[in-house]
Amino acid sequence: MSKQLYMRSKCEVTLDSEDRNLVGPGDSYKDYCFKISKAGQLMNVILLKDGKTIKVETVISDVKPEVIKILKTADYDKLGDVEKNELRKITSPIVESMRQLVGLIKQEHSRFDISDGMIANVKNEWSLGYNKWYSTPRGGLIISGTTYGLGNMNDWRARELQELLSENEQALVATSYLHQAINARSTRYQWIYATIAAELAIKEILARIEPKLEVILETLPSPPLNKLYGVVLESVTGVKSEGLRKLQEGAERRNKLLHSLGDYDSPSYDEVHEYIHFIDGRINWLLKLWRKIKREKRVKQGFLNCGV
């Protein structure tokens, strides 16, 4: 006989300072709740008012007895591969929802302080009701990473995030490289990482707009950045980016820095600060362009469905 399984999970958003967190200052400290759908499950993902803890709650229907038996196993190492895979099917969507939320906070709020790991110390619990909770078998389920915060969550930011989560939007991989550019101690590597971020961002956005381009962008040598942001983007969207010459000059300088044996020709702090700000602006522009295209497609599809 199948049963209804209650799952709850908690992770720490590790910060560089105990005085920092992810929510707003003063009287605005409060819990922020988000709805995320993963693997057919609705997750209630809550950023607690301490700004350092994320909690997830979900209910899984029609859970078979053999799954309950796996959950009751005290020693993870005694589970076979098939059983471990069944356990991952239950816990992975929870961890993915945590990562998705923190990834979008990192991208949308320009949280250059958040590391690639994003979450740490995931603790999963399960229950069949009656307010009795048990820990899931531990092993291969702890996600490590470092994050720290400036405290910039508020009501309108939470609403914007929820809209993105409802559409199952994932943060760009390019965001991680842009944040590496911010955090790198050498201006040489800051320039290199920022340029990589620009390259990944345009490829990711082009693939989202036109999925058929993905295999070309992944397998064939990439055109120069000014071409990707220029004629290639224009052929797909009808518009091209500003700053094409600056993008190409940035890529050319990156190539020189990659092959340089010393730091003597590294950019100055002011140069790299202005360059990173420029790349950040181009990535944000790409995101806005893609979301505009998505909205227009939904409106068009709505008209078609109505027979207009």
> What is the three-class DSSP state of 281?
helix
Torsion angle of C-alpha atoms 250, 254, 255, 258, degrees rounded to 10: 180
- Helices 187-209 and 244-259: crossing angle in degrees, nearest 10, is 130
Per-residue confidence (pLDDT) for residue 14, from 0 to 100: 67
Per-residue confidence (pLDDT) for residue 197, from 0 to 100: 96
Q: What is the pLDDT along the chain (308 residues), one digit of tens a residue?
A: 557 899 999 998 766 556 667 777 665 678 999 999 988 889 999 999 888 899 999 999 888 888 888 888 877 778 888 888 888 888 889 989 998 998 898 888 877 667 666 788 889 999 998 788 998 887 543 333 333 333 568 788 899 999 999 999 999 999 989 988 988 888 999 999 999 999 999 999 999 999 988 888 888 777 899 999 999 999 999 999 999 999 999 999 999 998 876 666 788 888 998 999 999 999 999 999 999 999 888 877 765 565 54
| Residue 190 to residue 177: CA distance in whole angstroms | 9
φ, ψ (nearest 5 deg) of residue 229: -80, -10
| Residue 185 to residue 189: CA distance in whole angstroms | 8
DSSP 233: H
First-to-last CA distance in the chain? 48
Per-residue confidence (pLDDT) for residue 141, from 0 to 100: 34
Per-residue confidence (pLDDT) for residue 145, from 0 to 100: 33
> Which residues are registered as beta bridge partners of 54?
11, 47
> What is the three-class DSSP state of 193?
helix
